[in-house]
Structure 1
Amino acid sequence: MKLIQLCSFLLYGLFLNAHTTTDNARCEEVSNTCAVISCGTHSHSGFPGRDGRDGKEGPKGEKGDKGAQGSRGIQGPPGKLGPPGVKGEKGSVGQKGEQGVSATSEVDVVKEQLNAFKKELETFQASLTKYKKILLFHGGKQSGDKVFVTNGLEENFENAQKTCREAGGALATPRSAAENIATQEILHTKGESSKAFLGISDLQVEGIFRYITGEKIIFTNWNLGEPNNSKDNEDCVEIQDNGKWNDIPCNLLRLVICEFQ
């Protein structure tokens, strides 16, 4: 660039001081120094000036066509809570409910439930006491809802009744063949020729044997020829090891067999 400027300056000086010289001669002189510059054929033409400054901004162009829709942006934060809506119409009346229980009635119900619970508890305690006493016996047999047990002791009829009653049971009273067999099996655990009192007698009415509760007997298993009330002194009943019954005096000692339900 500096070389071009220098050549321009020299050419300009030559133009001022040697204008009488022909154009071709000057070009030859200058070409020896600045060979890169081409000389023109016009004698008085000047050199190009510098670029001028930028012009003023032109008028705004026309609005272009609408572009394609862009992708959906991220959802913004929720806006503020709007004002409450208009109150809706009143709904239809529902079905009428069941009548409630008054406070007094509820108290009465609770009392009844409490009393029922107390009775159940008393029954349970009584049963527990009874079965605790049953545990004092041994050699028990079951028939239906009855359990027949013995304490292994021999007593007269009156004391045998008392023993069973205090234990929460009653003197053995077979009311079926199955119950009679269960009583007989207990006798077998005590050896041959064992005998036991039954809860049957004719102490109330001579010749009419009843349960000690006063009911008529519904099952019997008398030995042949019995009852015979020998010597007019046989008001109680024993069961023998063969399962047969016999009337005997009440003061004799026999095995105590009790029944529990």
Structure 2
Amino acid sequence: MKALRVFGVLLLHVALVMSSTQICQDVEKSGCSIITCGAPGKDGEKGEKGERGIIGLPGFPGHPGPPGDCKDSVCEDLQSKLKALEGQLKAQQTESFFFKGRARSSDKIFLSDGDQGNFNEAKARCTNAGGQMASPRNSDENKAILSINKQYGFVSYLGINELETPGIYRDPSNEVISYTNWKENEPNNYQGIQENCVELQNTGKWNDIVCEAKRLIICEFFISRG
């Protein structure tokens, strides 16, 4: 009976050992022998830091930020001067596009390259250039436009017309004119023909004409002052 108990204890011990071991393979031998291995050991020491990787691709541009505020007097003064410089630069660029036909009066510059056209062609030409048809507001501006007439030897169009309301002459800004320099007995719709447009003759006087007539194209541009 005692021997039976000892055999049972040994059997239990073998079972416990087998349950806590692993089966390993000795790869250095040609044969494949099975041996028991102990439980996994602790993690080894941390290795050395590796080399730095390559730089990644740049990211996408961010969204534009909100416009800055300009409330103090210094900022407003700088903006005013910048606007004036932009106006002067635009005028110089426009002026360089034309040839000899140029004159200036006060805050206006008058330009022509010598081309002629009817009223609608002249209007489109000046608008596309960033200005409007020459329209004198006083005698000085009238003389400036006349000087271009004499440079080319042609009669020119003015932007003044009565196309909207017969008998009421307006400038390109649709304002009723206050300055006039009509030739004697003009405007008169000569021989009953509706003459809704105006020419500046080489005497400096105005005459009403049909808008389909060809005349020298002179444009005017406002000059910003700093």
The amino acid that maps onto 1:256 is: I
Larger relative contact order (Cα-Cα within 8 Å, sequence gap ≥ 6): 2
Corresponding position of 1:215: 175
After TM superposition, list the pairs within 5 Å mapping 1:7-86 onto structure 2: none
Match of 1:189 in 2: 151
Q: Give the TM-score, by structure 1 length.
A: 0.52
CA distance in 1, matches of 2:108, 2:202: 20
User: Taking structure 1 as reference, are residues 124 and 213 closer, same or farther at Cα in structure 2, changes over 3 Å only?
Assistant: same
Q: Does 1:236 align with 2:194?
A: no
Give the whole-Å Cα distance in 1 for the aligned partners of 2:120 and 2:67.
47
Which residue matches 1:38? Answer: none
Task: Kindly provide the CA deviation profile for residues 146-196 of structure 1, in whole angstroms up to 9, marking residues without a partner as x.
Answer: 1111111001111111111222221111111111111111111112xx211
- Matched residue, 1:71: none
Q: Which amino acid aligns with 1:111?
A: D
Q: What is the Cα-based RMSD across aligned positions, in Å?
A: 2.7
Unaligned segments of structure 2, at least 5 residues:
1-65
**Cross-structure match for 1:155:** 117
**Contact preservation (8 Å) 1:200, 1:210:** yes
Matched, 1:179 2:150: no
2:130 aligned counterpart, secondary structure: coil
Cα distance, 1:221 vs structure 2: 0.7
Q: Which has the larger radius of gyration?
A: 1
Q: Structure 1 counterpart of 2:133, which letter?
A: L
Contact 1:173 1:211 in 2 (8 A): yes
Q: Does 1:112 align with 2:75?
A: no
Deviation at 1:142, TM superposition (A): 1.4
Q: Which residue matches 1:141?
A: 103
Secondary structure of the equivalent of 1:198? Answer: strand
- Offset of residue 124 of structure 1: 4.8
Distance in 2 separating the partners of 1:210 and 1:150: 22
Q: 1:235 to 1:111 in 2, by over 3 A?
A: same
Give distance in 2, aligned partners of 1:175 and 1:154: 23
Counterpart of 1:33 in structure 2 is none
Q: Could you tell me how far apart the structure 1 residues matched to 2:67 and 2:129 are?
A: 36
Show structure 1 runs of 5+ residues with no match. Answer: 1-107
Partner of 2:132: 170
SS in structure 1 at match of 2:70: helix
Contact 2:118–2:212 at 8 Å: present in 1 too?
yes
**d(CA) in 2 for partners of 1:137, 1:170:** 15
CA contact (8 A) 1:134 1:167 kept: no
Query: What is the total number of aligned residue pairs between the two structures?
Result: 152
Change in Cα spacing, 1:240 to 1:109, as seen in structure 2 (3 Å) is closer
How far residue 204 of structure 1 moved from its aligned partner, in angstroms, is 0.4
Whether contact under 8 Å (1:130, 1:167) holds in the other structure is no
Which letter does structure 1 place at the counterpart of 2:202? D
Whole-angstrom CA distance in 2 between matches of 1:109 and 1:150: 40
Percent of aligned pairs with the same amino acid: 38
